[in-house]
Structure 1
Amino acid sequence: MRAVVSVSCNFLFVLLDVTLTTILYIDGTQVRRFLQELNNFDIFTSTIDVWLICLIRACVLLGASTGVARNSTDGPRRVKKLNTAVSVLCMVMVVYAVAKLLLFSEVAVLLGAPWFLSLFAWSCISSLATLGFWKLLCLVKTKRELLVINEEKTKEEEGDDESEASGASIEESNKKENRGSSKATISRLLSYTKEDAGVLGVAFVFLILAALGECFIPYYTGLAVDGIVIQKSMVVFTKALLLMLLLAISSSFAAGIRGGMFNLTFARLNQEIGFFDSNHTGDITSRLTSDTTLVSDLVSQNVNICLRCLVKGVGVCIFMFSLSWKLSLVTFMGFPLVMIVSELYGKYYKRLAREVQDALAKANNIAEETISAMKTVRSFANEDNEVEVYWEKLQHMYKLNKKQALAYACYMWSISVALQVSVLFYGGHLVISDQMTSGNLISFIIYELELGDCMENIGSVYTGLMQGVGAAEKVFEFINRKPLMTREGTMAPDTFKGHVEFKNVSFAFPTRPNSQVLKNVTFALRPGEVTALVGPSGSGKSSCVYLMEHFYAAQSGELLLDGIPIEQYDHNYLHSKVALVGQEPVLFARSIQENIAYGVHEVTMDSVVQAAKAANAHGFITELQSGYNTDAGERGAQLSGGQKQRVAIARALVRNPHLLLMDEATSALDTESEHTVHQALEGAMHNRTILVIAHRLSTIEKAHNIIVLDKGKVSEQGNHKELMAKGGLYFKMVQRQMLGVDPPEEYDSHQKCQTVPNESRQ
């Protein structure tokens, strides 16, 4: 339907263009003009070339419309390929019409004729309209594109139900939305300045005053020159000079206030766990630092420059036309071609800007990853390789920056040099032919230079806009991203017992949606009891902990705390009742006291010390040079692995949690320290639910309940004696760990009950 409408509109426009141009050309009835101007063509007096240009426009648009109408499969695609060429052609037609007007002005025979001025105006308008109708044809969808769109709609409709049950599907829809409807737009970026509307309003007033003052300075410069060269009057020269001085001081004062206001605005401008699994740290920090700085520049500095140049440019154009409309047309006849160059340059530069931001993010990620794991890099003597990898990333970004610089240089050359040469040549002709004074020419050249400066600044702003938009697209991907998990829970009951129930829970990480880690897992943790999770590596033990911390959401099944689904609890309340100690705890670059009290408000020093004693950490802390005020270093680098684990245990105990999760929390401790910590936990077990994950099975022998996971499923559960009597996976794991061998197949249950416990206790 759209193709039919577009083609019909194009046919009607072609008919209108040819008819109206012909009527204007023959001035209504002078048909004989065709033969007269064909036989005696004179570029200064003939207008048949303008009519012939109309035929060219008609043939181009008529041919494209016919092609699209007859071949809806390949026609629109071919039209899109020729879009740039047709744009150049239409702009050349506009330039030719302006040049034709200037040529006629030299003779001044037909310049006052209404039909000629109408022909000139319509030629410019119809050339631009031809470009518009061509772009309308570019919007027509081919049969292949329509087929793909219909298929995608069908797939989206079929996938709606599945996406409700799959976090991966939601994540994919987030990415599609970011690539589609969430395009970074300048208007959206500017919307972030609403709070500073008052400051920007004042800045805009002073911007106009400064621009007006700067616009009058070249005019009085020309008057001063004419006062000396033509009038030879010191009074006229002095008057013009004093006015120039007054305008310069006033505009400088206004410009200073304007700049200060915009700088003030600049100064004021300056998700769930699965999100951090799929996005590198370097990438995120790059978005938060480099990209947001570019966006801030766009909203403040670039807006300042753009508004100043636009206001000043309008004033400059008015003065230029008042001095010489002919010379002004020479200046502006190059603008259509500049617009095409700017469009091509903008698209190219925007793509380069995005590539530079991506390259910078990758380089930052390499640096972040290497520096954070420097000990590992050092231990493998891989410093040179890491430097080489980082160097390659920087070289890639350097090549992109060189492309940016070359593109910018070519863009600026096409704008400034060509215009200045044309203006100087034609301006000299006007002075020699007494069509303008030398002072006016000097004023005009100054205005032309200032206009070029405005265009150069606008070009820089356009570059900044492209950089800002390219960076903002990445930032807006994070802003627009719909979290797979929300913190909308509001439950904060007065009592919390810590009774945990897994009911047919299945789970897969968002980054690996097709690989289930837990499959229909069902078990319970009871208050006042220690429950142990054991099993081979990769069986899903840590995943159970992540779910209890509500880092992720289960794909199916229910996880209940005191009979309430975990997602209904308030985030702050939940994590004040649940504490986690991991195998590799992360400490922060601050004092040990601050690390232990991390996340707890209004904690006393006595509570910190008591928690450290319970974690068997008080002894080594007091032996440090500054005691509890000793800095732990970046990620706790100043402490040993066992010391970090004990500080982490103290950090959990100081919160007095009702549910304590110990994920290999004592793996780096010696036997004596581990025994002391477990004794402390046994003493604090009253009304507290404790979950322990351990590969050292001797440490969980006294657990009230032992749950054995294997390949994401509950293989068996019970206490130590019951599981040893079963002779299942738990029994085999104990045998391998204690005896270092697999149990023989003929080992009977009586031997298992009698022998293995003794071995395990040794």
Structure 2
Amino acid sequence: MTNRATSNNGSAAARQGTLAALKGLLPFLRPYGRQFAFAGIALVVAAAATLAIPYAFKQMIDLGFGASAGIKSIQHVNQTFLALFAVAAVLAIATAARFYTVSWLGERVTADIRSSVYRHVVNQSPEFFETTQTGEVLSRLTTDTTLIQTVVGTSISLALRNTLLFVGGLAMLFVTSPTLSAIIIGLLVLVVVPIVLFGRRVRTLSRDSQDRIADASALAGEILNAMPTVQAFTHEHLEANRFKSSVEGAFRTALRRIRARALLTLIAIVLVFGAIVFVLWLGAHAVLTGSMTGGDLGQFILYASIVAGAIGALSEVMGEAQRAAGAAERLLELLAVSSDIQDPVHPKALPPRGSIGAAVALRDVSFSYPSRPETAALAHLSLSVRPGETVAVVGPSGAGKSTLFQLLLRFYDPQAGAITLDGVDIRDLDLHTLRSAIGIVPQDTIIFSADAMENIRYGRADATDAEVIAVAKMAAAHEFIERLPQGYKSFLGERGVRLSGGQRQRIAIARALLKNPPLLLLDEATSALDAESERLVQSALEAAMVGRTTLIIAHRLATVQRADRIIVMEDGRIVETGTHASLVALGGVYANLAALQFHNVHVAH
């Protein structure tokens, strides 16, 4: 993926071994030691029951069908089959217990990983989201965690089970025939080396496959969130083809992985069973010469089958582990990303505040966005806002107005200078404390997939219905909400598609008013409103500004004329300060902006 925030970490992680990558999951496994222990006991019992079966067959062949066949042989056969049934019952109970426990572990650990990764991601600074696609994160939360679920809930159990069967079966092979066992071990060593070497290739392809799937998810998420624009420009066919190309790329990468895994399986089965067939051929000759009994050969064949089956299963598990290792790397990369914006180790408290709002000050602040460090968004900016003061910030696009708000919310830290709230450097405040003191109405209103009541209540989660309705009335939102099919319980659609731009903005204003903060930030808060709605909201905002400090960003100068002070910004600096009348008289940047706007208004009329 282009511009991945985690690409540097990923290149290092990709060089780790499969076990090293999966080892990073241990913190998620440790809390469930008791369940793992229970699964382990069930696993050992099931493996022991499986390994007891060939011995029972040896007894049946040698004692039941041997040279001394008679009444006793019938008794031996009966006893052997009763013992086999008892072993099967133990095997069934132990296998069922193991399946339930490891499946529970798979689901539980996957849920924990998803929650942990999501909690970590939502605490990242905006810098992370500047360079990371949302679809990529979603892919890691879904596809990658599903692969890990397969490993924890199935593959680990199968790996341990087949390892026990392999070791136990191998031990019993040596008990049955040391000579044949030594030969088969020598052959297996020659077989395993190419399998392991080829397995590394499968692991690399597995990670590539997951990356391509993530790219396709990122592309789909971006386009689905911009469907009105796509359809307005009639790019449906173009975007469908782009997604098809991305999916086909993912398919081709997956096909290479599948081919490699199929070839790995083919090599493993042919080489392993070829070695076993050769050794069994030697065993058959040993029976014919009388150096082995038929029961011994039967027991050897069954144990050899168990060993071969265990190796085959382990090769399958290895393929799953390769894929899970890639998934684990990608998830651990996300968890390893550290936000530059951190809570202080020893946060300070805000001093007691009266009922007139917060004091804000910026001292010689300079800032450049991480994605464009060579361009100064703010340069040596100093500003003091008194408690209860309303300050309007105006200027051309790119002047640094919205950047000022992002720094006040501490979405970023300036490279130089300091910002204080009520005399306390905001870097010394807990992020929750800082942001709880600030309400914002952004230019791009976010509406969640919920009803109108819950969308406004997002401003303060513990607000009552009556409080929500009260702020909706203040924001001139009550009337249009009441006209919705279910009123305040009406679902507003994903991203608020059922509302007009002005209605979405009034929901955002109500949300900010419900928070009731001492510092209110209005970023083009009335830009999407018609004249009547703007008049209603403007009067509501003026009432809401009483008793709090307010900073207003507006391109429409008519909305800021009654501000206590107007700050004019250009190229990240404050170039003019004053009231509307004094700035117009000054004949500078503000006067030019005012002349353009009011001239256009007169022309329109």
Work out whether residues 211 and 311 of structure 1, in 8 Å CA contact, stay in contact via their aligned partners in 2.
yes
| 1:186 and 2:44 matched | no
Match of residue 248, structure 1, among 68, 71, 88: 88
Q: Report 1:208-287 matches (<5 A).
A: 208-227=44-63, 230-231=66-67, 232=69, 233-270=73-110, 271-287=124-140
When normalised by structure 1's length, the TM-score is 0.72
Q: How does 1:5-24 map to 2 (within 5 A)?
A: none
The reply on whether 1:427 has 2:263 as its aligned counterpart is: no
Tell me the SS of whatever aligns to 1:267. helix
Distance 1:247 1:280 in 2: 54
What pairs up with 1:409-488 in 2 under 5 angstroms? 409-433=262-286, 434=289, 435-488=291-344
In 2, the alpha carbon distance for the partners of 1:638 and 1:486 equals 37
Partner SS for 2:585: helix
In the TM superposition, residue 490 of structure 1 has moved relative to its aligned partner by 4.3
Q: 1:362 to 1:533 in 2, by over 3 A?
A: same
Q: Residue 349 of structure 1: CA displacement?
A: 1.5
**2:574 maps to which residue?**
714
**1:599 to 1:642, Cα distance in 2 relative to 1, 3 A:** closer
Give the whole-Å Cα distance in 2 for the aligned partners of 1:687 and 1:426.
91
Structure 2 contact 191–271 (Cα < 8 Å) conserved: no
How many residue pairs get aligned? The number is: 574
Q: What residue in structure 2 maps to residue 729 of structure 1?
A: 589
**C-alpha deviation, 1:417, in angstroms:** 2.0
The code of the aligned residue for 1:697 comes to L
CA distance in 1, matches of 2:27, 2:591: 65
Shift of 1:656: 1.4
Matched with 1:38 is none
Correspondent of 1:572 among 419, 427, 432: 432
Q: Deviations over 1:484-522 (max 9, x none)?
A: 111234424442631111111111222222322111111
The percent identity for this pair of structures is 33
Residue of structure 2 aligned with 1:694, choices 522, 537, 554: 554
Note the residue ranges of structure 1 that are not aligned, 5 or more in a row.
1-170, 741-757
Residues 431 and 437 in structure 1, CA contact (< 8 A), matched pair in contact too: no
Among 256, 262, 267, the alignment partner of 1:403 is 256
CA deviation after TM superposition for structure 1 residue 712, in Å: 1.4
Deviations 1:289-323 (A, max 9, x none): 22223234333432211211111211111111122
Alignment deviations for residues 23-75 of structure 1 (CA, whole Å, 9 cap, x no partner): xxxxxxxxxxxxxxxxxxxxxxxxxxxxxxxxxxxxxxxxxxxxxxxxxxxxx
Q: CA RMSD in A?
A: 2.4
When residues 573 and 430 of structure 1 are mapped into structure 2, their CA distance, relative to the original with a 3 A threshold, is: closer
Give the counterpart letter for 1:707 in structure 2.
I
Alignment partner for residue 503 of structure 1, among 363, 379, 384?
363
| Structure 1 Cα separation of the partners of residues 272 and 469 of structure 2 | 78
1:563 CA displacement: 1.4
Consecutive unaligned residues in structure 2, runs of 5 or more: 111-123
User: What are the equivalent positions in structure 2 for 1:334-345 lying under 5 Å apart?
Assistant: 334-345=187-198
Aligned-partner Cα distance in 2 for 1:295–1:425: 38
Q: 2:503 aligns with which of 616, 634, 643?
A: 643
Partner of 1:527, secondary structure, is coil
Spell out the pairing of 1:601-640 with structure 2 (5 A cutoff).
601-640=461-500
1:631-656 superposed Cα distances (whole Å, 9 cap, x missing partner): 11111111111000011101111111
Q: Counterpart in 2 of 1:526?
A: 386
Q: Identify the residue that residue 200 of structure 1 maps to in structure 2.
A: 36
Contact 2:350 2:422 in 1 (8 A): no
Matches within 5 A, 1:743-758: none
Q: 8 Å contact 2:64–2:74 — kept in the other structure?
A: yes
TM-score (normalised: structure 2)? 0.89
* 1:200 partner amino acid: F
> Would the aligned equivalents of 1:507 and 1:554 in 2 still touch at CA under 8 Å?
yes
Cα distance in 1, alignment partners of residues 262 and 191 from structure 2: 14
User: Alpha carbons of 1:346 and 1:425: their partners in 2 closer, same or farther (altered >3 Å)?
Assistant: closer
8 A contact 2:106–2:151 mirrored in 1: no
SS in 1 for 2:25: helix
Greater RCO structure (CA 8 Å; 6+ sep): 2
Distance 2:552 2:383 in 1: 14
Residue type of the alignment partner of 2:325: V
Contact 2:13 2:329 in 1 (8 A): no
Equivalent residue number for residue 491 of structure 1: 349
Supply the distance in 2 between the matched residues of 1:343 and 1:422 (Cα, whole angstroms): 17
C-alpha displacement at 1:602, in angstroms? 2.7
Structure 1 pair 180–426 and aligned structure 2 pair: CA distance change class (3 A): closer
Cα shift at 1:604: 2.3
Conserved 8 A contact 1:492-1:570: no
The offset of 1:599, in angstroms, is 4.1
Provide the residue aligned with 1:50 in structure 2.
Answer: none
State the AA in 1 paired with 2:234.
A
Q: Bigger shift: 636-645 or 365-374?
A: 365-374
